[in-house]
Amino acid sequence: MEFDILTIFPESFESYFNTSLIKRAQQKKLIKIRIHNLRQWTKNKHQTVDDRPYGGGPGMIFLLEPIYQAVKDLKKRKKFPSTEEKVILFSAKGKELTQQKVEELAKKKRLILICPRYEGVDERVAKYLVDEEISIGPYVLSGGELPAMVLVEAITRLIPGAIKEESLKEESLKMNADKKSVVYEYPQYSRPEIFYPDKKNKKIKWSVPKVLLSGNHQKIEQWKKKHLKIKKNKK
C-alpha cells in the first residue's frame, strides 16, 4: 500500500510516522508513505495556497489550482491501475470513517490524501478532483493532518505482516457479518489482581473478576462472550 499525502505542514508527520507500528511497516516495505508540501505546486514567490472566499465569509480557503496541479502530477506516476487508487479529501462534511470503510480502502494499492487547513478548500476540489470526502468524527479540527495519520494507521494494521495475526483475530472492534452491527471486545484486566486506590482504606478495592483467575477455560470463554458489547452500525 502506498500513501501520498498533500499538506502544508509536512513536518507534523515526522514523529508519528517514525515510531511503532507505522515505522516497522515501512521498514518491512509493507507500506510506502510520501509526504508532499502543497506549496511546491504554487506559482508565485510567496507560495500562496489560500485566499478569501468569493461572497465573503470568515477565514481563508485553499485554492483550487495548487491542489489540481498536485493531484495531476501525482496521478502521472502510473504504477497501479486507476481502479486501484483513490483520492481522498478530509472534510468535516465528509462521510464518517468506520472500520468497514477502512477495510474497503485497505484493498486499494494507493491513496492520495489531501489535508486542508483554515476554513476548508475550494468546493471544486471536492466536486471534480477527489473520489470521496472523509471525516474522522462529528467535530471540527484545524486541518487534515490528524485524520490522515488516523487513516494511515487504521489501514496499516490490516496489512498482512504489519501486526501479529493473533491480534487481528482478537480485535477490539469487529463488524458483524450482516454489516448491521459492530461488536466491541470484552473487558480485559491485568496485574495486580486487587488494586487499592486509597492505601489507607482497604475497604475500597478494584478487583479482577474471579472467573478470569479460575483457570477454567470454558467458563472464561463464556464470560468473554457474555461481556461482548454490540452496537448498531451507523448507516
**Where, residue-wise, is CATH 3.40.1280.10 in the chain?**
2-156
| Per-residue model confidence as pLDDT tens for the chain (235 residues) | 999 999 999 999 999 999 999 999 999 999 999 999 999 999 888 899 999 998 888 889 999 999 999 999 999 988 899 999 999 999 999 999 999 999 999 999 999 999 998 788 999 999 999 999 999 999 989 999 999 999 999 999 999 999 987 666 555 555 555 556 778 889 999 999 999 999 999 999 999 999 999 999 999 999 999 999 887 765 5
Contacts of 175 (CB under 8 A, 6+ apart): 99, 100, 103, 181, 182, 183, 233
Note the pTM of the prediction, 2 decimals. 0.85
Q: Please name the CATH architecture into which domain 2-156 falls.
A: 3-Layer(aba) Sandwich (3.40)
Q: What is the pLDDT of residue 234?
A: 59
Q: What is the pLDDT of residue 44?
A: 86
Contacts of 16 (CB under 8 A, 6+ apart): 22, 149
Q: What is the pLDDT of residue 214?
A: 96
**How far is Cα 218 from Cα 196, in angstroms, rounded to an integer?**
30
Q: What is the pLDDT of residue 164?
A: 81
**Where, residue-wise, is CATH 1.10.1270 in the chain?**
172-232
Q: What is the pLDDT of residue 13?
A: 98
Q: Please name the CATH architecture into which domain 172-232 falls.
A: Orthogonal Bundle (1.10)
**How far is Cα 22 from Cα 159, in angstroms, rounded to an integer?**
11
Q: What is the pLDDT of residue 37?
A: 97
Within its chain, how far is the Cα of 5 from the centroid?
Answer: 13
**Closest to 103 (Cα-Cα) out of 146, 157, 147, 24:** 157
